[in-house]
Structure 1
Amino acid sequence: MSGGKLSRRGLLMAGGATILAAGGAGALTVGTASAAVPGSKRFDLSKPAYDVFRKVLLDEKHHALQGMAFDTANRHLFIAQIRDGSPGDDLCINRLDESGKVTGKMHIDSAGHGVSIGVEPSGEDTYIWVECDSSGGGDDGRGTALARFKFADGKAPSGVKKFFTGSKTITCATDPVNKRILVRRKESGKFTYRLYDFSSIDVENGTFTDELAKITQPELGDGGVTFQGYTVFGSYLYTLDGDGHADQADINSFITTTDLNTGKVVERALTKAGKSLVYREPEGMAINQTADGEVRLCFGFASRTSVGNIDRYANVFHKNVLV
């Protein structure tokens, strides 16, 4: 996705991270919000990031990771990527264990770009939530509905349920701790997020009820940014933006925290996690809760072994301090 470079105005240094003051003139706008989500703690973006894993080659080795989501009940991570040889909107959903080993895959034809996905555990099964019915057959194709289906290694989706049909550029993310799903799509020309409890979804009739929050996406930077992913935890939205680069001096990958109840950006920080990676490009976000109960904000970067190498590796990092 295209976007301009970030503005450097209003930047403050704090704890080794670059923090953007919410009141920085010209640097951002506050999105409109209508919500009453119970308040929660948020991740401190000024704290260090730690490795989850590095240099994992996914099933489609020539394409970068895109969206990701954790099944914390069954200890799986699912990562979407465009399929090798695809015109640009056919996806592969990789299943990984917690060490980063690929343990399964599914192919979804004419789905979209896979910027963000969700998962819903049900006993020992995992249901995937992902965009579908792409608007086009190439790199510009984006989902026009959300699909829900059970993950089945090596098989095509079956028993697919579809929601929000007729949408424009729709994706989702899931909060495994609070058991919620956040839907992002264009409404009246603006990207809009709507938050729901999983318990409010009528799967058989394809309906969502009891909306918890609605927020339009704040604009970041004077000229816009390259949007690369998002996730949700409690009453906060987290977004990832930035560009690929071969020079560490060009790092412009930022994480932003937005209050779902007010639409206000409360923190924006430059992250240099994985700064030594070759052609490091930010891709995807997800919330994880470890077996010990620690909640983590996870975010990914694609990399190569050299700038000219066609293989793309998946690298995932996390922050774990809540305030």
Structure 2
Amino acid sequence: MASHVRVSRRGLLKLGAGVAATATLATTPAKAAEGRFQLTAPSTSLIWKKALYDETVLQSIAFDNRNGHIYTLQVKNGADSNAAGHLCLSKLSLTDTILGHMYLMGFGHGVQFGVEPSGTSAYLWTETDGVSDGASFRGTKLARFKFVNGQTLTTSSSALTKYKPIAGSDNTTCAIDPSTNRLVMRYWDGSRFRYAVYTLADVKGGSPTPLSDMAQPSGLGTFQGYAAYGSFVYILTGTAYSDANPAPGNTYVTCLDLRTGEQVQRARSVAGKSLDYREPEGMGIQIVSGAPRLCLGLASGVARARKASIFYKTELI
């Protein structure tokens, strides 16, 4: 399925060069991001039915590949948290030990976020300045802040640096590609969702010129997260098990070419199909010994006692 794409001349030069940048965010540099993940390849379990800091459904995942940590976002405990945009950010080891948490008040829904390692610390890139869509809060800007265990941030906290690369956009989230140090922002332009690609340095420097900007194809299903690696973005869709959606469920991953906007592959994921509830939630790129993994999150368990699982694919084509 084709989608309209706007690519700047600068973007064509950078994206069309084959995306051979060495990872600057990983302890061991990632291999040149020359291929794309084979979505029909089997998945392997990384985390299985882990209780996060709060007991709500997992919303998204991201990796600090330099320091070996996993971060997760979920709606904060409390009856009003979803409607108010209050989030819980958890920090985990690669063996699923909880190492800390933060609360983000009024930020949004936590659909996707990015991690920028900095020495032994990390900065998080999340949505912020959430507004109600009638059922929940959705961010209208991006925020960058340092992870500080136990800290609670509000949208007016001095710890935040805020960015709005595209004026008038809302439903704004982002992911960071550790192989290229690019930020991919998903946003609503008033009529449809789009993906804009920037260098992280340009966004931080206040001169965010998009390398490319393309529409999300229609008809993919319920959106649940995304991740970028090299020349491609991977989109996660689907819903929890139900009478209308029995196992193995309707979870799909769709791959778009960031150079052209073309949909190049779409495949059902049956990772963790034995889980109860099983709702797809969030994607991320993990780098292990220089090799990338395409990871997806799954929520399971009962209300007020939800669990998080993460699966990954490694085959590139």
Superposed pair shares fold, TM > 0.5: yes
Matches within 5 A, 1:63-142: 63-85=56-78, 86-88=80-82, 89-136=85-132, 139-142=135-138
Q: Name the counterpart of 1:235.
A: 231
- Residue type matched to 2:160 in 1? V
Verify the 8 A CA contact 2:163 2:203 in the aligned structure 1: no
Provide the rounded CA distance (Å) in 1 between the counterparts of 2:207 and 2:184. Answer: 11
Q: 1:138 offset after TM fit, Å?
A: 7.0
**Secondary structure at 1:202 match in 2:** helix
Give 3-state SS (helix, strand or coil) of 1:170's partner. Answer: strand
Structure 1 Cα separation of the partners of residues 277 and 203 of structure 2? 40
Distance 1:33 1:300 in 2: 30
Output one character per residue of 1:73-112: Cα deviation in whole Å (capped at 9) or x when no partner.
Answer: 1111110000010431100110011111111101010011
String of CA shifts for 1:212-250, please: whole Å, max 9, x gaps. Answer: 2211111135xxx11000110111010000110057545
Paired residue secondary structure (2:305): coil
Instruction: State, as a whole percentage, how many aligned pairs show the same letter.
Output: 38
Partner of 1:183: 185
| Other structure's SS at 1:112 match | coil
Can you list the C-alpha shifts for 1:99-140, whole angstroms capped at 9, x where unaligned? 111111010100110000011111111001011111129742
1:185 & 1:175 partners in 2: Cα distance?
17
State the distance in 1 between where 2:99 and 2:4 align.
40
Contact 2:3/2:214, CA 8 A, preserved across alignment: no
- CA positional deviation for 1:187: 1.2
Deviation at 1:178, TM superposition (A): 1.4
Matched, 1:146 2:142: yes
**Counterpart code for 2:3:** V
Q: Which residue of 2 aligns with 1:277?
A: 275
Gaps of 5+ in 2: 19-33
Q: Please say if residues 131 and 137 of structure 2, whose CA atoms lie closer than 8 Å, have aligned partners that are also in contact.
A: yes
Q: Which amino acid aligns with 1:230?
A: Y
What SS does the corresponding residue of 1:47 show, helix, strand or coil?
coil
Match of 2:258 among 260, 269, 288: 260
1:68–1:79 Cα contact (<8 Å) kept: yes
**TM-score, normalised relative to structure 2:** 0.85
Unaligned runs of 5+ in 1: 1-27
Q: Which letter does structure 2 place at the counterpart of 1:50?
A: T
Match of 2:216 in 1: 217
- What do the CA deviations read for 1:259-293 (whole angstroms, capped 9, x no partner)? 01111110000010000001111000001101x11
Moved more, 132-141 or 178-187: 132-141
Going from structure 1 to structure 2, the CA distance change for 1:77 and 1:249 (only over 3 Å counts) comes to closer
RMSD of Structure 2 on Structure 1 (CA) = 1.8
What are the Cα deviations for residues 143-184 of structure 1, in whole angstroms up to 9, with x where unaligned?
011111100000134521001175311000111121111111
